[in-house]
Every structure is written in structure tokens, then in C-alpha cells.
Structure 1
Amino acid sequence: PSAPAALPAEPAENEALLSLPAVLDLTAAGALHAALLNHRGTPLALDAGEVKRLGGQCLQLLLSADRTWAADGVPIRLQGASEAFDRDLGFMGLSRDDLFQRTAA
């Protein structure tokens, strides 16, 4: 089976980069929400390379961000996901391909 089409590794024009913290749990959810709101309307790359733990609350925020950016017609993508990020996504029944897999229109 062929892999889903990946978003380009090169940054989009005017793309912001948001490095996700190592621990994305309930205590990190407020700061993540604020950071996402701060970048709304801007093409965004989320760097998950340093994530050591992903909790359900922050996953909900990431899923919501995908839908929000899609509704706004603005690209959002995930880059550099750590093994722990992928592992925790798997614990919640998802894979990296389930997040931000659409291409920009």
C-alpha cells in the first residue's frame, strides 16, 4: 500500500514554527491553546520532535487546530514527530497520518 501524500517538508510562505513542549498533558493544555490561538490565520508547522508524552487533552487541541485551520483555509502540518509522540498517538488509536494529513488547497 502506498503511503498518504505527505505535506511538503519545506516551510510554506510566511509559515510559523511552533515547537511543542516535551510534556503535552493537562497542565500544558492551557499554554498550547494560547499558542495555537496566537498563530490562528497563519500557516503553521508544529514540531513534535521533542515530545516525550502526549495526553488526551492536548491531542484534542491538536485535532481541533487541524479543523480550525482547515475551516480558515490555512495550511497546518506536523513535522519531526518523536517516537514517544507516535507511541502515545497509537495508545489513543491514532497515527501521525491521522493528524494534519490534508494538503493545502
Structure 2
Amino acid sequence: MDANDIADVFVLPASLDLAAAAPLKETLLTRRGQKICVDGTNVARAGVPCLQVLLAARQTWVDDQIEWVSRSFSVELVTALQELGIGLGRLGLDKESAK
């Protein structure tokens, strides 16, 4: 399924710092059980706590067998993932979708 086929597009905030981790978790929990498209275009800062939340959420969607599509991750978000040795595929992103 394509990202355009999913009604629930969740645009990540520009700052994924420590203060954003708990609200990010809560927002994702409210969407649990629904197909989701995660758009990381606007991310300018990405910290470890938010990356952990995203990874855990992605795994939850996989475990629940619910579709999760990632699209358009910013250079900053891709760099943060790569610096931690986290492959883009762990968040359901292919290299063409990374900006």
C-alpha cells in the first residue's frame, strides 16, 4: 500500500528532543491499531529518546500486523538514525524516501 492510501498521516514535529518523547509516545498510542503514515520531513533535531519511541512504535505496528508507512525523512533524522547505527528499514523507510 502506498502512503497516499493511508488517511492518517502523522507529521513528526521539528524538534524530537527529550521534552518531545512523552508527547510523541502518547500521540502514537492514540493511533495504535490504525494504519499510519509517518512523515519526518520537518524534523530538524532528533534525540535518542524520541528515536527509541519511534522504534518501539514501529515494532508495535509490526507485531500487531498493522500497516506503518514512513515517508520523507529529513536529512537530520536520517543522520541521527545512521549515527546510532539504526538502519532506515527499522522505521520502514527506504533510501529513496529519505531526503
TM-score (norm 1): 0.80
**Alignment correspondent of 1:25:** 17
- Give structure 1 regions of 4+ aligned residues with deviation exceeding 4 angstroms: none
Identity of aligned residues (%): 33
Larger radius of gyration: 1
More helix as a share of residues: 2
Instruction: Give unmatched runs, 5+ long, in structure 2.
Output: 94-99
1:1-105 matched pairs, under 5 angstroms: 8-12=2-6, 15-100=7-92
Tell me how large the CA RMSD over aligned residues is: 1.5
Q: Is the 8 A contact 1:11 1:45 kept in 2?
A: no
Count of residues in Structure 1 that have an aligned counterpart in Structure 2: 93
Unpaired segments ≥5 residues, structure 1: 1-6
- SS of alignment partner, residue 30 of structure 2: helix
TM-score (norm. length: structure 2):
0.85
